[in-house]
Amino acid sequence: MRRIAVLASGNGSNLQAILDHLDRQGSSAPAQVMLVISDRADAYALARARRRDLAATHLSRSAPEGALESLLDEYQTDLVVLAGYLRLVPAPVVRRWTGRMLNMHPALLPAFGGHGMYGHRVHEAVLAAGARLSGATVHFVSEQFDRGPIIAQWPVPVHLDDTADTLAERVLRVEHRLFPWCVDAVARGTVTLGADGRVHGTLPYDFARFGVEGPRHPFVPDE
Ligand code: GRF
Protein backbone atom coordinates (compact mmCIF):
# COMPACT_ATOMS: atom_id res chain seq x y z
CA MET A 1 0.00 0.00 0.00
CA ARG A 2 1.73 3.18 -1.17
CA ARG A 3 1.72 6.11 1.21
CA ILE A 4 0.63 9.51 -0.14
CA ALA A 5 1.27 12.99 1.21
CA VAL A 6 -0.92 15.73 -0.28
CA LEU A 7 0.20 19.37 -0.34
CA ALA A 8 -2.62 21.89 -0.71
CA SER A 9 -2.93 25.63 -0.11
CA GLY A 10 -6.66 26.10 -0.44
CA ASN A 11 -10.07 24.48 -0.49
CA GLY A 12 -8.80 20.94 -1.10
CA SER A 13 -11.52 19.78 -3.51
CA ASN A 14 -8.89 17.83 -5.46
CA LEU A 15 -7.72 16.29 -2.20
CA GLN A 16 -11.32 15.32 -1.52
CA ALA A 17 -11.69 13.79 -4.99
CA ILE A 18 -8.58 11.69 -4.39
CA LEU A 19 -9.77 10.58 -0.94
CA ASP A 20 -13.20 9.65 -2.33
CA HIS A 21 -11.62 7.78 -5.27
CA LEU A 22 -9.41 5.70 -2.97
CA ASP A 23 -12.42 4.98 -0.74
CA ARG A 24 -14.32 3.70 -3.78
CA GLN A 25 -11.39 1.40 -4.63
CA GLY A 26 -11.84 -0.24 -1.22
CA SER A 27 -9.40 -3.08 -0.62
CA SER A 28 -8.03 -2.79 -4.16
CA ALA A 29 -6.85 0.78 -3.54
CA PRO A 30 -3.15 1.01 -4.42
CA ALA A 31 -2.45 3.76 -1.93
CA GLN A 32 -3.71 5.73 1.00
CA VAL A 33 -3.34 9.37 1.99
CA MET A 34 -1.35 9.52 5.25
CA LEU A 35 -0.65 13.23 5.53
CA VAL A 36 -1.94 16.59 4.31
CA ILE A 37 0.36 19.61 4.46
CA SER A 38 -0.57 23.23 3.84
CA ASP A 39 1.36 26.48 3.87
CA ARG A 40 -1.85 28.12 5.12
CA ALA A 41 -3.12 27.35 8.62
CA ASP A 42 -6.69 28.15 7.57
CA ALA A 43 -6.69 26.02 4.41
CA TYR A 44 -9.93 24.05 4.24
CA ALA A 45 -7.83 21.16 2.91
CA LEU A 46 -6.50 20.75 6.48
CA ALA A 47 -10.06 20.62 7.81
CA ARG A 48 -10.90 17.91 5.26
CA ALA A 49 -7.92 15.89 6.53
CA ARG A 50 -8.78 16.35 10.20
CA ARG A 51 -12.34 15.25 9.50
CA ARG A 52 -10.92 11.87 8.50
CA ASP A 53 -8.39 11.74 11.33
CA LEU A 54 -5.51 12.12 8.88
CA ALA A 55 -2.33 13.93 9.89
CA ALA A 56 -2.86 17.57 8.92
CA THR A 57 0.12 19.85 9.25
CA HIS A 58 0.49 23.58 8.70
CA LEU A 59 4.02 24.14 7.40
CA SER A 60 4.45 27.90 7.46
CA ARG A 61 6.39 29.71 4.78
CA SER A 62 9.00 30.55 7.37
CA ALA A 63 9.58 26.88 8.25
CA PRO A 64 13.28 25.99 8.24
CA GLU A 65 14.87 24.53 5.11
CA GLY A 66 14.45 20.78 5.23
CA ALA A 67 11.27 20.84 7.30
CA LEU A 68 9.15 19.58 4.41
CA GLU A 69 11.54 16.73 3.62
CA SER A 70 11.68 15.70 7.30
CA LEU A 71 7.90 15.63 7.48
CA LEU A 72 7.62 13.54 4.31
CA ASP A 73 10.21 11.14 5.74
CA GLU A 74 8.45 10.97 9.10
CA TYR A 75 5.39 9.60 7.30
CA GLN A 76 7.48 7.35 5.01
CA THR A 77 5.96 9.07 1.98
CA ASP A 78 6.05 7.19 -1.34
CA LEU A 79 4.05 9.65 -3.44
CA VAL A 80 3.71 13.42 -3.14
CA VAL A 81 0.59 14.99 -4.67
CA LEU A 82 0.44 18.77 -5.23
CA ALA A 83 -3.26 19.61 -5.18
CA GLY A 84 -3.43 23.37 -5.48
CA TYR A 85 -0.15 23.97 -3.64
CA LEU A 86 1.04 27.51 -4.32
CA ARG A 87 4.60 27.28 -2.99
CA LEU A 88 7.61 26.13 -4.95
CA VAL A 89 8.72 22.73 -3.65
CA PRO A 90 12.41 22.86 -2.66
CA ALA A 91 14.61 21.37 -5.40
CA PRO A 92 16.09 18.65 -3.12
CA VAL A 93 12.56 17.36 -2.45
CA VAL A 94 11.64 17.46 -6.15
CA ARG A 95 14.83 15.55 -6.98
CA ARG A 96 14.25 12.95 -4.29
CA TRP A 97 10.65 12.30 -5.37
CA THR A 98 11.33 12.42 -9.11
CA GLY A 99 8.73 10.25 -10.79
CA ARG A 100 6.75 10.12 -7.55
CA MET A 101 5.49 13.74 -7.34
CA LEU A 102 2.41 14.85 -9.31
CA ASN A 103 0.81 18.23 -9.91
CA MET A 104 -2.51 19.31 -11.38
CA HIS A 105 -2.59 22.44 -13.54
CA PRO A 106 -5.92 23.96 -14.63
CA ALA A 107 -4.95 24.52 -18.29
CA LEU A 108 -3.42 22.59 -21.20
CA LEU A 109 0.32 22.91 -20.46
CA PRO A 110 2.71 24.08 -21.73
CA ALA A 111 0.25 26.84 -22.57
CA PHE A 112 -0.84 29.11 -19.75
CA GLY A 113 1.69 27.73 -17.29
CA GLY A 114 4.87 28.76 -15.58
CA HIS A 115 5.76 30.99 -12.71
CA GLY A 116 2.90 33.04 -11.32
CA MET A 117 0.32 31.16 -13.39
CA TYR A 118 -2.03 29.66 -10.83
CA GLY A 119 -5.69 29.72 -9.83
CA HIS A 120 -7.83 32.39 -11.49
CA ARG A 121 -4.86 33.97 -13.23
CA VAL A 122 -4.73 30.91 -15.47
CA HIS A 123 -8.37 31.17 -16.51
CA GLU A 124 -8.11 34.94 -16.96
CA ALA A 125 -5.12 34.41 -19.26
CA VAL A 126 -7.05 31.78 -21.27
CA LEU A 127 -9.98 34.18 -21.71
CA ALA A 128 -7.71 37.12 -22.52
CA ALA A 129 -6.02 35.02 -25.22
CA GLY A 130 -9.39 34.14 -26.73
CA ALA A 131 -8.57 30.42 -26.54
CA ARG A 132 -11.48 28.15 -27.45
CA LEU A 133 -10.13 25.21 -25.56
CA SER A 134 -8.72 24.94 -22.07
CA GLY A 135 -8.45 21.86 -19.92
CA ALA A 136 -6.67 20.06 -17.10
CA THR A 137 -3.11 18.76 -17.06
CA VAL A 138 -1.59 16.26 -14.64
CA HIS A 139 2.19 16.04 -14.79
CA PHE A 140 5.21 14.78 -12.92
CA VAL A 141 6.84 17.65 -11.07
CA SER A 142 10.26 18.76 -12.26
CA GLU A 143 12.42 21.61 -11.02
CA GLN A 144 10.98 23.95 -13.67
CA PHE A 145 7.53 25.19 -12.60
CA ASP A 146 4.76 23.45 -14.59
CA ARG A 147 7.24 21.93 -17.07
CA GLY A 148 7.38 18.32 -15.87
CA PRO A 149 6.50 15.34 -18.11
CA ILE A 150 2.77 15.28 -18.77
CA ILE A 151 0.80 12.22 -17.62
CA ALA A 152 -2.67 13.11 -18.82
CA GLN A 153 -4.69 16.00 -20.19
CA TRP A 154 -8.36 16.50 -20.89
CA PRO A 155 -9.88 19.34 -22.89
CA VAL A 156 -12.54 21.69 -21.63
CA PRO A 157 -14.42 23.95 -24.06
CA VAL A 158 -14.33 27.70 -23.44
CA HIS A 159 -17.74 29.34 -23.89
CA LEU A 160 -18.01 32.80 -25.44
CA ASP A 161 -19.74 34.11 -22.33
CA ASP A 162 -17.35 32.46 -19.88
CA THR A 163 -15.95 34.36 -16.94
CA ALA A 164 -12.89 33.19 -15.01
CA ASP A 165 -15.31 31.76 -12.44
CA THR A 166 -17.46 29.78 -14.89
CA LEU A 167 -14.41 28.45 -16.73
CA ALA A 168 -12.67 27.57 -13.44
CA GLU A 169 -15.71 25.63 -12.29
CA ARG A 170 -15.91 23.65 -15.55
CA VAL A 171 -12.19 22.84 -15.46
CA LEU A 172 -12.36 21.89 -11.78
CA ARG A 173 -15.07 19.29 -12.54
CA VAL A 174 -12.68 17.66 -15.01
CA GLU A 175 -9.76 17.89 -12.58
CA HIS A 176 -11.76 15.97 -10.00
CA ARG A 177 -12.13 13.07 -12.42
CA LEU A 178 -8.68 13.14 -14.03
CA PHE A 179 -6.39 13.66 -11.03
CA PRO A 180 -7.51 10.65 -8.92
CA TRP A 181 -6.99 8.28 -11.85
CA CYS A 182 -3.51 9.66 -12.49
CA VAL A 183 -2.58 9.31 -8.81
CA ASP A 184 -4.02 5.77 -8.88
CA ALA A 185 -2.04 4.84 -12.01
CA VAL A 186 1.27 6.15 -10.64
CA ALA A 187 0.63 4.43 -7.30
CA ARG A 188 -0.10 1.16 -9.13
CA GLY A 189 2.97 1.58 -11.30
CA THR A 190 0.95 1.39 -14.51
CA VAL A 191 2.32 4.84 -15.35
CA THR A 192 5.98 5.56 -14.72
CA LEU A 193 8.57 8.22 -15.45
CA GLY A 194 11.39 6.59 -17.40
CA ALA A 195 15.10 7.30 -17.04
CA ASP A 196 14.68 8.94 -20.44
CA GLY A 197 12.53 11.59 -18.76
CA ARG A 198 9.46 10.40 -20.66
CA VAL A 199 6.18 8.96 -19.39
CA HIS A 200 5.68 5.22 -19.95
CA GLY A 201 2.84 2.79 -19.36
CA THR A 202 -0.92 2.90 -19.84
CA LEU A 203 -2.26 6.41 -19.57
CA PRO A 204 -5.44 6.92 -17.59
CA TYR A 205 -8.03 8.60 -19.82
CA ASP A 206 -5.79 8.75 -22.84
CA PHE A 207 -7.64 11.37 -24.87
CA ALA A 208 -6.00 10.04 -28.03
CA ARG A 209 -8.04 6.86 -27.55
CA PHE A 210 -11.27 8.60 -26.65
CA GLY A 211 -10.83 11.72 -28.66
CA VAL A 212 -13.16 13.33 -31.18
CA GLU A 213 -13.00 10.30 -33.47
CA GLY A 214 -13.34 7.76 -30.73
CA PRO A 215 -16.40 6.56 -28.83
CA ARG A 216 -17.97 9.17 -26.61
CA HIS A 217 -16.00 8.33 -23.49
CA PRO A 218 -18.21 8.46 -20.38
CA PHE A 219 -15.65 10.78 -18.94
CA VAL A 220 -16.32 13.56 -21.45
CA PRO A 221 -17.94 16.30 -19.38
CA ASP A 222 -21.56 16.92 -20.31
CA GLU A 223 -20.99 20.08 -22.35
C1 GRF B 1 -7.30 23.75 -8.82
O2 GRF B 1 -7.92 24.57 -9.77
C3 GRF B 1 -5.98 23.26 -9.36
O4 GRF B 1 -5.99 23.09 -10.75
C5 GRF B 1 -5.05 24.36 -9.02
O6 GRF B 1 -5.49 24.87 -7.78
C7 GRF B 1 -6.85 24.57 -7.61
C8 GRF B 1 -6.98 23.75 -6.37
O9 GRF B 1 -8.30 23.66 -6.01
N10 GRF B 1 -3.71 23.85 -8.96
P11 GRF B 1 -8.66 22.77 -4.72
O12 GRF B 1 -7.89 23.33 -3.53
O13 GRF B 1 -8.22 21.37 -5.03
O14 GRF B 1 -10.14 22.89 -4.58
Provide the number of structural domains found in the chain: 1
Ligand 1 atom closest to Cα of 175?
4
In a domain, 87, yes or no: yes
CA nearest ligand 1 atom 9, residue: 84
Angle between helices 164-188 and 120-129 (to 10 degrees): 120
Enter the pTM of the model.
0.93
Does residue 129 sit within a domain?
Answer: no
Segment 13-28, tens digit of pLDDT: 999 999 999 999 999 9
In a domain, 86, yes or no: yes
120 domain residue, yes or no: no
Substitution candidate for ligand 1 out of 40, 46, 104, 183 with most atoms within 8 A of CB: 104
pLDDT, average across residues 133-158:
92
| Span 146-200, pLDDT tens digits | 889 999 999 999 999 999 999 999 999 999 999 999 999 999 999 999 999 999 9
Is 112 inside any structural domain? no
Give the CATH number, domain containing residue 144.
3.40.50.170
Q: Is the residue at 78 inside a domain?
A: yes
- 59 within some domain: yes
Whether residue 38 lies inside any domain: the answer is yes
Residue nearest to atom 14 of ligand 1 (CA): 13
In which domain, by residue range, is 83 found?
Answer: 2-104+137-154+178-201
Band the pLDDT of 223: cuts 50, 70, 90.
Answer: very low
**Pocket mutation for ligand 1, best pick of 6, 9, 11, 14 (most atoms within 8 Å of C-beta):** 14
How many Å lie between the centroid of ligand 1 and the Cα of residue 138? 12
